[in-house]
Structure 1
Amino acid sequence: VAPSEAVYSEEEALQAAKRLGYPVMARAAFSLGGLGSGFASNETELAALAKQALAHSSQLIIDKSLKGWKEVEYEVVRDAYDNCITVCNMENLDPLGIHTGESIVVAPSQTLTNREYNMLRTTAIKVIRHFGVVGECNIQYALNPHSEEYFIIEVNARLSRSSALASKATGYPLAYVAAKLSLGIPLTDIKNSVTGVTTACFEPSLDYCVVKSPRWDLTKFTRVSKNIGSSMKSVGEVMAIGRSFEEAFQKALRMVDGAVDGFDPYQQPVQEDELVKPTDKRPFVLAAALKARYSVDALHDLTKIDKWFLSKMQRIIEFQCVLEEMSNALDAGQLLTAKQLGFSDKQIATATKSTELAVRKLRQELGITPWVKQIDTVAGEWPATTNYLYTTYNALEHDIDFPGGHIIVVGSGVYRIGSSVEFDWCAVGCLRELRNLGKSSVMINYNPETVSTDYDMCDRLYFDEISFEVVMDIYELEHSEGIILSMGGQLPNNIAMDLHRQQAKVLGTSPESIDTAENRFKFSRMLDRKGILQPRWKELTNLKSAIGFCEEVGYPCLVRPSYVLSGAAMNVAYSNQDLEAYLNAASLVSKEHPVVISKFLTEAKEIDVDAVAADGEILCMAVSEHVENAGVHSGDATLVTPPQDLNAETLDNIKRITRDLASLLDVTGPFNMQLIA
Structure 2
Amino acid sequence: MTAVLIIGAGADDLQHGGELDQATLEIAVALKKHDLETVLIDDNPFSFTLDEQEVIDHAILAPLEVEQVVELIEKYAPTMIIPTLGSRKAFELVQAVSETGIIQERGIHFCGVPEATIRQVNNPVLMSQTLKQLGAPTKMIKTVSDYHGAVELVDQVGYPVIVRAALPKKQAPRRIVHDPRELQQAVSAAIQESRASQVMVQQSLAGLKEIEVLVMRDASGTMMNLAMVENLDPIGIHAGDSIAVTPAQTLMDREIQDIRDVAFAITRRLRIVGINHVQFALDQEHQRFYVIKNSPYFDRLASFVEAATGYPVATVCGHLYAGQLLSNIKLGHDYPRHLALTEPVMDRTAVRLPTFPIESLPGQRWELRTEKQSVGSVIGVGRSFLEAIIKGSAAYYTPTNERLLKEIAAFSDERLDERLIHPCPHRLLTLLEALLRGYSSDELTELTKIDRYYFDQLKRGTTLVKRLQEKPGSLELLKQAKYWGLSDDQIAQSWKISVKKVAALREENQFHRVFKEVDPSAGEFDVHTNHFYATFEVENESSVIRGSRALIVGDGPRKLGNSTANDYVLGMVARELRRHQFRVVSHINNPNSLLLTRHLSDKVYLEPHTAEAVAAIARLEQPDYAFIPVGKQNLKSAINAVSPATKVVIIEAMQTPQNFVSSIPTLEFNALFDGQVVYQLGVTGELKDQGVGKYQTLAKRYPAHLEKGLATKVTTISDQVISQQTTPGLYQVLYQVDRLAEGIHEEVQPLTAPDVAFMTKALGLNLTAIWVRLMIGNFSGQFLVKASHVNTSYPDVIYRAHFPYADYHLTNQKSRPATVIGAQIERA
Residue of structure 2 equivalent to 1:556 = none
Which of 148, 163, 169 is residue 11 of structure 1 equivalent to? 148
Q: Is the contact made by 1:93 and 1:105 (CA closer than 8 Å) also made in structure 2?
A: yes
Q: Deviations over 1:163-221 (max 9, x none)?
A: 22222222222222223323432211113455243331110001111111111114433
C-alpha distance in structure 1 between counterparts of 2:534 and 2:404, whole Å? 22
1:454 to 597, 616, 619: 597
1:22-33 maps to which residues of 2 (within 5 A)? 22-29=159-166
Distance in 2 between residues matched to 1:253 and 1:472, nearest whole Å:
19
Partner of residue 237, structure 1: 377
Instruction: List per-residue Cα deviations over 1:374-427 (Å, max 9, x = no partner).
Output: 11200001111221112222x321113225652101222110012332222222
Q: Is the alpha carbon distance of 1:253 and 1:170 closer, same or farther for their aligned partners in structure 2, counting shifts above 3 Å?
A: same
Partner of 2:298 in structure 1?
Answer: 159
2:367 pairs with 1:227? yes
Give CA-to-partner distance per residue, 1:58-117, whole Å, 9 cap, x none: 343222221111000111111121111111110101011111111111111111111211
> Structure 1 residue 439 and structure 2 residue 582: aligned?
yes
Query: Residue 148 of structure 1 corresponds to which residue in structure 2?
Result: 287
Q: Write the distance in 2 (CA, Å) between the matches of 1:619 and 1:161.
A: 40
Q: CA-to-partner distance for each residue in 1:301-329, whole Å, 9 max, x for gaps?
A: 111111111111111111111222233x2
Instruction: Judge conservation of contact 1:33–1:101 (CA < 8 Å) in 2.
Output: no
User: 2:216 aligns to what?
Assistant: 77
Q: 2:543 aligns with which of 401, 406, 411?
A: 401
* Alignment-mate amino acid for residue 139 of structure 2: A
- Contact 1:7 1:60 survives alignment (8 Å): yes
**2:757 aligned partner:** none
Residue type matched to 1:38 in 2?
Answer: R
Contact 2:673 2:679 in 1 (8 A): yes
Shift of 1:455: 2.9
Q: How does 1:472-551 map to 2 (within 5 A)?
A: 472-485=615-628, 488=629, 490-493=630-633, 495-496=635-636, 499=639, 504-505=644-645, 507=647
Match of 1:657 among 721, 728, 741: 721
SS of 1:279's equivalent in the other structure is coil
| Letter of the 1:470 counterpart | A
Show the counterpart of 1:56.
Answer: 193
Aligned partner of residue 335 in structure 1, secondary structure: helix
Compared with structure 1, are the counterparts of its residues 427 and 464 closer, same or farther at alpha carbon in structure 2 (3 Å cutoff)? same
Among 234, 237, 254, the alignment partner of 1:115 is 254
Note if 1:413 corresponds to 2:563: no
* 1:406 aligned partner, one-letter code: R
Aligned equivalent of 1:299: 444
Change (3 A) 1:29 1:631: closer
Report SS of the residue matched to 1:492.
coil
1:318 paired with 2:457, answer no
1:466 equivalenced with 2:606 (yes/no) = no
- What is the rounded CA distance, in whole Å, between the counterparts of 2:446 and 2:433 in structure 1? 17
Alignment check: 8 A CA contact 2:213 2:277 kept: yes
| TM-aligned CA deviation for residue 602 of structure 1 | 7.9
Distance 1:32 1:78 in 2: 33
Residues 432 and 143 of structure 1: CA distance in aligned 2, closer, same or farther (over 3 Å): same
Change (3 A) 1:634 1:207: farther
Task: Give the structure 1 partner of residue 712 of structure 2.
Answer: 648
8 Å contact 2:308–2:350 — kept in the other structure?
A: yes
Q: Deviations over 1:325-383 (max 9, x none)?
A: 233x242x211211222211211112211222222222222222221111120000111
- State the partner residue of 1:125: 264
Q: Is the 8 A contact 2:622 2:646 kept in 1?
A: no
User: Is residue 608–residue 623 contact of structure 1 (8 Å, CA) maintained in 2?
Assistant: yes
Shifted more, 609-618 versus 625-634: the winner is 625-634
Q: Compare 109-118 and 6-15 and name the one that shifted more.
A: 6-15
2:109 aligns with: none
- Number of matched residues? 587
Q: How does 1:88-103 map to 2 (within 5 A)?
A: 88-103=227-242
- Give 1:498 shift: 5.2
Aligned partner of 1:367 in structure 2 is 510
Partners of 1:87 and 1:461 lie apart in 2 by: 21
Q: Secondary structure at the match of 1:268?
A: helix
> Structure 1 stretches of 5 or more lacking a match?
519-562, 571-599
Identity %: 26
Shift of 1:296: 1.1
1:437–1:216: structure 2 CA closer, same or farther, 3 Å change rule? Answer: same
Counterpart of 1:353 in structure 2 is 496
* Structure 1 residue 604: Cα displacement: 7.0
Query: Aligned partners of 1:163, 1:621: CA distance in 2, in Å?
Result: 38
Conserved? CA contact 1:323–1:352, under 8 Å = yes
Instruction: Give the structure 1 partner of residue 740 of structure 2.
Output: none
CA 1:365–1:634: 2 relative to 1, 3 Å: farther
Distance 1:31 1:166, change over 3 A: farther
RMSD: 3.2
1:362 match: secondary structure: helix
Return the alpha-carbon distance in structure 2 between the equivalents of residues 459 and 174 of structure 1.
18
Alignment partner of 1:666 is 2:727: yes
Question: For 1:261 and 1:254, how far apart are their aligned partners in 2?
Answer: 11
Cα-to-partner distance string for 1:4-61 (whole Å, 9 max, x where unaligned): 2222333322332123211222234457998421211111122222233333333432
Instruction: Return the letter of the residue paired with 1:652.
Output: T
Q: Which amino acid in 2 is paired with 1:450?
A: S
Q: Which amino acid aligns with 1:131?
A: L
The answer as to 2:277 corresponding to 1:217 is no
Amino acid in the other structure paired with 1:666: T
Structure 1 stretch displaced more, 374-383 or 317-326? 317-326
Aligned to 2:684: 624
CA distance 1:481–1:434, shift in 2 (3 Å): same
1:548 maps to none
The AA in structure 2 aligned to 1:253 is: S
Select the residue among 204, 210, 213 that pairs with 2:344.
204
SS state at 1:432 partner: helix
User: 1:98–1:229: 8 Å Cα contact kept in structure 2?
Assistant: yes
SS at match of 2:527: coil
Secondary structure of 2:512 counterpart: coil
What residue is the counterpart of 1:40 in the other structure?
177
- Asked whether the 8 Å contact 1:484–1:506 carries over to 2, the reply is no
Deviation at 1:601, TM superposition (A): 12
User: Which of the pair has the greater relative contact order for Cα pairs under 8 Å at 6+ separation?
Assistant: 2
Q: TM-score, normalised by structure 1?
A: 0.79
CA distance in 1, matches of 2:323, 2:483: 46
Distance 1:289 1:470, change over 3 A: same
Task: Determine if contact 1:171/1:377 at 8 Å carries over to the other structure.
Answer: yes
Paired residue secondary structure (2:595): coil
Aligned residue for 1:298, secondary structure, equals: helix
- The answer (yes or no) to whether the contact 1:406–1:441 under 8 Å persists in 2 is yes
**How far is the alpha carbon of 1:245 from its aligned partner?**
1.1
Residues 154 and 368 (structure 1), Cα distance of their counterparts in 2 relative to 1, 3 Å cut: same
